[in-house]
Structure 1
Amino acid sequence: MRHLTKIVLGLMLVFAVACSRTPPGGGRGNAVYVGGTVPQLGDSRPHEWRNGHPYNHHVHGIDISRWQGEIDWGRVRGAGISFAFIKATEGGDHSDPSFQRYWREAAAARVPRGAYHYYYFCRTGAEQARWFIRNVPRERGSLPPVLDLEWTDSKTCPRRPGPAEVKREANAFLDIVGRHYGQRPIIYTTVDFYRENRLGDMRAEFWLRSVADHPRMTYPGQRWAFWQYTGTGTVPGIQGDVDLNAFAGSSSDWARWLSTRLTR
């Protein structure tokens, strides 16, 4: 009986360990999850991933704007967050009121951080590049800048130019900002914008939004560096939902990427 009890207890322990490896917000059923390094992340509206679970990736980060409010960056870093992209500007005359504070706080907590610009189609790429440069310091050790290309729902700028104009003006932004910071910006985009404007031929690294399936399914054939996999993530140190992202490679790949892509 004592021997049987030990066996039962052993099986219970194995079961408990197995359950503890289910990723936060990962679900069960047909979700594909094979291990990886899972930080202390969750999701307020978990998705059933069938073609590749984001938690199979080892390096995770956040992107934020003023709506995240007060952030405990020490807890964020301790939860396994390896990078943060912070909204800095949009269009040619708006800056995020929390950018400068987040920029300083993330650096103090030793969280690698970069700035992103939300593009408007009623200003030229050159105008928007100058506005970004005016608001974002050129600091050694920063992540590359990011150009956020997606259709806006702004009543003040309802324009939707054709693919040729979109890419011409976006490239002007990339060239000017790239020269200033010494790193060509990353392009963030969405599925519909990517397809409608045929962005695959642009010379840039990509950060792809795909919250319903793996990027290899939604952007077939497109190489990417970052994957935004949810807009309803949860992270210790941040109240409410936050965007979560995965880096494409391993922890070693991440270290190599940083060695070549940080501002110098």
Structure 2
Amino acid sequence: MSDELVAIDLSHHNTVSDFQAVADSGIVGVFHKATEGTSFVDAMYASRQAEALAVGLKWGAYHFLRHGDAAEQMASFVANSCLAWGSRVAIDYEDPDCTLEDLHDALEWLGANAPDLEVAIYGGSLLKEQINGDYYGDLAQSALWLAHYTEGTPSWPKNTWPQWTLWQYTDSETVPGIDGPVDGNRFNGSRENCALWFGPVERAPEAPVVALATVKIEITAPEGVELEIVVNGTAR
């Protein structure tokens, strides 16, 4: 197993025998397929999410984007990924029927309806060909999860992303706790920053509401008079 390997990505096609062994091997985080298109939900996602988090692994969800109905797809993705505020999600952009408009629509929906999630875009040759050296500001707001299987220096759409953040460099890594080959990913930074990148971002707990003073009011009402008491706008 490569020393630079920090993350793996899984789906129901992979067989996981021991998430504790995965964590002990030095893996920082796991991306798992949650949904595809408008109706498919990965049956292994929910149980594996709980198992991985229980042993201290970072967790992210990805959606395999299909052409059309981007809003409906993202709604399904968010509903089924069950992630905490500030978690990392990824849009898997490799369906040859997809266009950049599909990707724009997906990002727009997430920005409007799930702004507390951090987004990465997973892509390789299709993404490079369609961007074709141009700059896309909305795409640049998301992290690039690059797919390029090479032992040398990878290539990517540098006008939009000056640097890749996560690089899937192989589909044949060997990781303890995973039966069979698995996708291997390197992070463009330290292992500590990789963990932070996965999230979730922790919110400071809200301060409890504490009564600063007790106000005691005694009222003697004449017989037959009905009282209505309003405290801070609420009838009591």
With the shorter chain as reference, the TM-score category is: 0.7 to 0.9
Larger CA Rg, structure 1 vs 2: 2
Deviations 1:72-112 (A, max 9, x none): 00111111111000100001100001001111110111101
CA contact (8 A) 2:148 2:155 kept: no
- Long gaps (5+) in structure 1: 1-40, 43-54, 153-158
**Partner of 1:89: helix, strand, or coil?**
strand
- Long gaps (5+) in structure 2: 203-236
Change in Cα spacing, 1:115 to 1:61, as seen in structure 2 (3 Å) is: same
Work out the number of aligned pairs and report it.
196
TM-score normalised per structure 1: 0.66
The letter of the residue matching 2:70 is G
Aligned to 1:224: 164
CA contact (8 A) 2:128 2:156 kept: no
Deviation at 1:225, TM superposition (A): 1.3
Deviation at 1:248, TM superposition (A): 0.5
Aligned partner of 1:168 among 85, 93, 104: 104
Aligned partner of 1:187 among 121, 126, 137: 121
**Partner of 1:170: helix, strand, or coil?**
helix
Aligned partner of 2:142 among 204, 211, 224: 204
Distance 2:35 2:145 in 1: 18
Deviation at 1:241, TM superposition (A): 1.0
Distance 2:119 2:113 in 1: 7
**Partner of 2:43: helix, strand, or coil?**
coil
Deviation at 1:213, TM superposition (A): 4.8
Identity across matched positions, percent:
28
Change in Cα spacing, 1:256 to 1:76, as seen in structure 2 (3 Å) is: closer
Matched, 1:72 2:6: no
**Partner of 2:168: helix, strand, or coil?**
strand
Distance 1:109 1:193 in 2: 34
Change in Cα spacing, 1:177 to 1:213, as seen in structure 2 (3 Å) is: farther
Deviations 1:118-169 (A, max 9, x none): 0000x322111111122121325x73111111125xxxxxx444x4x23432
RMSD: 2.4
**Partner of 2:23: helix, strand, or coil?**
helix
Deviation at 1:62, TM superposition (A): 0.4
Greater helix content: 1
TM-score normalised per structure 2: 0.73
Aligned partner of 2:91 among 138, 141, 147: 147
CA contact (8 A) 1:194 1:200 kept: no
Greater strand content: 2
Aligned partner of 2:81 among 117, 136, 140: 136
